[in-house]
């Protein structure tokens, strides 16, 4: 069996590894460290939770042991897709470089530029950054990448999902052609393969597991969920999640609950807290200080349930996660592998459970096709019956009818009758009715017009004849 002492690492690095309690490397570490120490490009493909971070941190520290950093010109660069993953790489660097005088800078969003600029001005051996913040420093003229000797791209497939590939290509173009590149990914999408063919020179390919496979130590299961009514779907789904947690009992020492949307992350976390569960939310819209404090509390065991979006699905190393609950079926099949990879790490046993609504069955089929095996169906826990609406019966009350004494009724005086409007004579300027004026004439008839002629028409003829 291969041990770390067989991998040609530096004595001070081996001492730090022994102090950390490790003796035997994982398959990806045993395959990637020797060619990396030979200054060869490395393409590592391994499922999440297999120790990819140490596979590039250990040889990088050993190779940087000699030499000195210059101001604004870091000697090595590590690119990570999320702030949490970048911070985790920084923690690994601190752990394994305890006995070496190497410096680092962590460039992530949510932190002041001024503090990061101060570290870069002093000169750092290792620069750990997210692509966006790295380019921000470069465009401000605070950073030069012409001194990069070793460049590492971690979780490349996550970079693709988050839209960082154009930034990665630009960063590659800013580094020297003679650099050494270590490229790690859990899956190999066509776009990732194109980048490796473009920027890696005759890489050593290490593939320790079939692409997009889950660890065999993880027990998987899916509960099919069908709401009783459409307007109660969300509430009943949260009820099912709590029932699944309660069914596990003490076996569920801690767990990560994954949701597809940030809004649902907050809602589920508040619901769990309302029902007495120790839970907190973590997603991309929170302040970096809050995200860091929440994640640290979960690692330290002070927090039992971490409700997260996919920002926490990639690369986070929390060794003892007993359960993963997928509140939503992920829309991308690859995300399922990364989500459940948060449990069952380093050979431990883990359990991953998922809730599948009728609208998610298509995504479930895609996941089973990707992992090349069906996910066992588990019995849905008994949900509390929704409260039935009570019919309100009309209250019948005996109402005493008041006795009304007879009183004398006063007769109202009759109103003076006015003639109807059509019977009223029309008045003219002279005060006489036009009809009266017409009727007073002896020769009132108009020859040839007949007796049915209206009087107002005849009046016009009469006035003209009179004039």
CATH number at residue 285: 3.40.50.300
Q: pLDDT at position 112, please?
A: 85
pLDDT-derived band at 438 (thresholds 50, 70, 90) equals: very low
Classify residue 382: in a domain, yes or no: no
Average pLDDT for residues 182-197, to the nearest whole number? 87
Instruction: Indicate whether 129 and 181 sit together in one domain.
Output: yes
CA distance 250 to 271: 21
Q: What is the pLDDT of residues 80-110, one digit of tens each?
A: 988 888 988 999 999 999 999 899 999 998 8
Instruction: Indicate whether 203 and 222 sit together in one domain.
Output: no
Q: pLDDT at position 422, please?
A: 52
Average pLDDT for residues 335-353, to the nearest whole number? 84
Does 113 have pLDDT greater than 70? yes
Instruction: Indicate whether 293 and 324 sit together in one domain.
Output: yes
Q: Among 220, 195, 465, 184, which Cα is nearest to 336's?
A: 220
**pTM over 0.75, yes/no:** no
Cβ-contact 346, 377 below 8 angstroms: no
Q: What is the pLDDT of residues 277-292, one digit of tens each?
A: 999 999 878 887 888 8
Angle between helices 83-96 and 52-64 (to 10 degrees): 50
Average pLDDT for residues 203-226, to the nearest whole number? 83
Q: Give the residue with greater pLDDT, 428 vs 117.
A: 117
Classify residue 409: in a domain, yes or no: no
CA distance 88 to 140: 26
Classify residue 408: in a domain, yes or no: no
Long-range CB pairs of 264-272, under 8 A, 24+ apart, other chains included = 264/327, 264/328, 265/307, 265/308, 265/309, 267/234, 267/238, 268/238, 268/241, 268/307, 268/327, 269/305, 269/307, 271/238, 272/241, 272/242, 272/305, 272/307
Query: What SS3 state is found at 127?
Result: strand
Instruction: Indicate whether 224 and 306 sit together in one domain.
Output: yes
Q: pLDDT at position 225, please?
A: 93
Q: What percentage of the chain carries pLDDT values higher than 70?
A: 78
Classify residue 264: in a domain, yes or no: yes
Instruction: Indicate whether 358 and 446 sit together in one domain.
Output: no
Q: What is the pLDDT of residues 351-371, one digit of tens each?
A: 999 999 999 999 999 999 988
Instruction: Indicate whether 85 and 230 sit together in one domain.
Output: no
Q: Domain boundary at 141, 173, 207, which?
A: 207
Q: What is the pLDDT of residues 118-164, one digit of tens each?
A: 999 998 999 999 999 999 999 999 999 999 999 999 988 888 878 89
Classify residue 400: in a domain, yes or no: no
Neighbours of 223 (CB within 10 A): 17
pLDDT-derived band at 72 (thresholds 50, 70, 90) equals: confident
Specify the number of domains making up the chain.
3
Residue in this structure with the two tokens 């069996």, named with its chain if needed = 1
Angle among Cα 106, 112, 114 to the nearest 5 degrees reads 90
Classify residue 415: in a domain, yes or no: no
Classify residue 309: in a domain, yes or no: yes
Instruction: Indicate whether 105 and 8 sit together in one domain.
Output: yes
Instruction: Indicate whether 85 and 138 sit together in one domain.
Output: yes
CA distance 214 to 383: 30
Does 402 have pLDDT greater than 70? no
Instruction: Indicate whether 235 and 195 sit together in one domain.
Output: no
Does 55 have pLDDT greater than 50? yes
Classify residue 160: in a domain, yes or no: yes
Q: Domain boundary at 207, 233, 266, which?
A: 207
Instruction: Indicate whether 367 and 254 sit together in one domain.
Output: yes
Q: Give the residue with greater pLDDT, 212 vs 16.
A: 16
Q: What percentage of the chain carries pLDDT values higher than 90?
A: 50
Lowest-confidence region among 54-63, 336-345, 356-365: 336-345
Instruction: Indicate whether 255 and 350 sit together in one domain.
Output: yes
Distant-in-sequence, close-in-space partners of 33: CB < 8 Å, separation ≥ 6: 7, 8, 9, 25, 55, 58, 59
Lowest-confidence region among 140-144, 165-169, 449-453: 449-453
Instruction: Indicate whether 223 and 184 sit together in one domain.
Output: no
Domain span holding position 200: 4-207
Q: Domain boundary at 355, 371, 387, which?
A: 371
State the chain's mean pLDDT as an integer: 83
Q: Give the residue with greater pLDDT, 134 vs 410.
A: 134
């Amino acid at each position: 069996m291969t041990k770390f002492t067989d991998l040609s690492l530096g004595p001070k690095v081996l001492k730090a590894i022994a102090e950390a309690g490790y003796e035997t490397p994982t398959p990806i570490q045993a395959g990637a460290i020797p060619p990396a120490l030979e200054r060869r490009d490395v393409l590592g493909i391994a499922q999440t939770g297999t120790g990819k971070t140490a596979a590039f941190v250990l040889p990088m520290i050993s190779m940087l042991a000699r030499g000195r950093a210059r101001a604004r010109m870091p000697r090595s660069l590590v690119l990570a897709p999320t702030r949490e993953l970048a911070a985790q790489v920084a923690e690994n660097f601190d752990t394994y470089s305890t006995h070496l005088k190497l410096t680092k800078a962590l460039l992530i969003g949510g932190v002041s530029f001024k503090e990061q600029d101060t570290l870069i001005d002093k000169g750092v051996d290792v620069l750990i950054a997210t692509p966006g913040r790295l380019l921000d420093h470069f465009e401000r003229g605070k950073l030069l990448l012409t001194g990069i000797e070793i460049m590492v791209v971690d979780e490349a497939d996550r970079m693709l999902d988050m839209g960082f590939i154009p930034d990665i290509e630009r960063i590659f173009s800013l580094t020297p052609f003679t650099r050494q590149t270590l490229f790690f990914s859990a899956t190999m999408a066509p776009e990732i393969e194109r980048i490796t063919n473009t920027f890696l020179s005759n890489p050593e390919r290490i593939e320790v597991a079939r692409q997009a496979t889950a660890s065999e130590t993880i027990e998987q299961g899916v509960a099919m969920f069908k709401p009783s009514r459409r307007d109660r779907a969300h509430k009943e789904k949260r009820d099912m999640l709590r029932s699944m947690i309660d069914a596990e009992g003490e076996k569920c020492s801690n767990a990560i609950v994954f949701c597809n949307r940030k809004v649902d992350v907050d809602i589920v976390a508040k619901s769990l807290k309302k029902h007495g569960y120790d839970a907190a939310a973590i997603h991309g819209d929170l302040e970096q200080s809050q995200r860091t404090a929440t994640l640290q509390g979960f690692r330290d065991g002070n927090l039992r349930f971490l409700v997260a979006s996919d920002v926490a699905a990639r690369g986070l190393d929390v060794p003892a996660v007993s359960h993963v609950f997928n509140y939503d079926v992920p829309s991308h099949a690859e995300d399922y592998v990364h989500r459940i990879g948060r449990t069952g790490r380093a050979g431990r046993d883990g359990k991953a459970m998922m809730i599948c609504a009728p609208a998610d069955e298509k995504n479930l089929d895609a996941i089973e096709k990707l992992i090349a095996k069906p996910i066992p169906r588990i019995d849905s826990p008994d949900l509390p019956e929704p409260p039935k609406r009570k019919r309100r019966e009309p209250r019948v009350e005996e109402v005493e009818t008041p006795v009304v004494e007879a009183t004398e009724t006063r007769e109202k005086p009759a109103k003076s009758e006015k003639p109807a409007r059509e019977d009223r004579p029309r008045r003219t300027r002279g005060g006489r009715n036009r009809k009266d004026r017409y009727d007073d004439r002896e020769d009132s008839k108009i020859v040839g017009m007949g007796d049915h002629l209206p009087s107002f028409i005849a009046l016009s003829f009469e006035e003209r004849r009179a004039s």
